Amino acid sequence: MASGPDTTSASAPDGSRERKAAPAAQPGAPEGPTRASSADTGSDVPPDVSEPPGTRAPRPGRMRRLAALARREAGRSALAALGGVALAFAFPPYGLWPLSLLAVAALSLLTRGRTGRQGAWLGFAFGWPFFIVLLKWLHVVGWDAVIGLAFLQSLFVLGLGAGLAVTARLPLWPLWGACLWLTEEFLRDRLPFGGFSWGRLAFANTDSPYTPLAALGGAPLVSFAAALTGTLLAAAALRGLRLRSAAARTGRAYATCAGALVLAGAATVAGLAVPVPTKAADTVRVAVVQGNVQQPGMHFLGRPMQILNNHAEATLDLAKRIEQGKEPRPDLVIWPENSSDLDPYKYPEAGDRIDRAVKAVGVPVLVGALVDHPTKEGYVENQGIVWDPEKGPGASYTKQHPVPFGEYVPFRDQLSKVITRLQQVPRDFYPGDHTGVLQTGPARLGDVICFEVAYDEIPRDTVKDGARALVVQTNNATYGRTGQPEQQLAMSRLRAVEHGRAVVTAATSGISAIVAPDGTVQQRTEEFTQDVLTGELPLRDEITLADRVGAAPEWAIAIVGVLACAGAWILGRRRSGTGARTRTAPDTAGAGDGTDRQDRQAQAEGQHQ
Any catalytic annotation for residue 136? no
Buried b / exposed e across 15-44, counting CB within 10 Å, b at 16+?
eeeeeeeeeeeeeeeeeeeeeeeebbbbbb
Under 8 Å CB-to-CB from 11, ≥6 apart: which residues? 17
Please tell me the distance from the alpha carbon of residue 539 to that of residue 158, in angstroms, as a whole number: 43
Please tell me the distance from the alpha carbon of residue 325 to that of residue 522, in angstroms, as a whole number: 23
Distance of CA 465 to the CA centre of its chain: 26
CA angle 510, 473, 316 (to 5 degrees): 70
Distance of CA 600 to the CA centre of its chain: 32
Q: Which of 341, 344, 461 is nearest to 400 (CA)?
A: 461
Tell me the residue ranges of DSSP E strands in 420-562.
Answer: 428-429, 437-440, 443-449, 469-474, 503-507, 513-515, 521-524, 531-539
Please tell me the distance from the alpha carbon of residue 492 to that of residue 488, in angstroms, as a whole number: 7
Burial of 252 (0-12, 13-18, 19+ CB in 10 A): exposed
Q: Which residues sit opposite 17 in a β-bridge?
A: 11
Residues 383/434, Cβ–Cβ less than 8 Å: no
- Count CB-CB contacts under 10 A for residue 305: 17
| Phi/psi at 54 (5° precision) | 90, -5
Tell me the residue ranges of DSSP E strands in 469-602.
Answer: 469-474, 503-507, 513-515, 521-524, 531-539
Decide: helix, strand or coil at residue 79.
helix
Half-sphere exposure of 233 (CA within 13 A, CB side): 19
| Phi/psi at 231 (5° precision) | -70, -35
Any catalytic annotation for residue 417? no
DSSP for 527-538, written as a single string: TT--EEEEEEEE
Catalytic residue among 73, 184, 337, 407: 337
Q: Please give the C-alpha separations between residue 147 and each of 153, 526, 559, in angstroms, as whole numbers.
A: 10, 29, 30
DSSP 387: E
**Helix residue ranges per DSSP H, 3-115:** 38-41, 62-72, 74-88, 98-111
Residues 503/521, Cβ–Cβ less than 8 Å: no
Please tell me the distance from the alpha carbon of residue 192 to that of residue 183, in angstroms, as a whole number: 15
Catalytic residue among 179, 257, 450, 565: 450
Under 8 Å CB-to-CB from 607, ≥6 apart: which residues? 36, 40, 41, 42, 72
Any catalytic annotation for residue 337? yes
Residues 374/346, Cβ–Cβ less than 8 Å: no
The residues that are catalytic are: 337, 399, 450
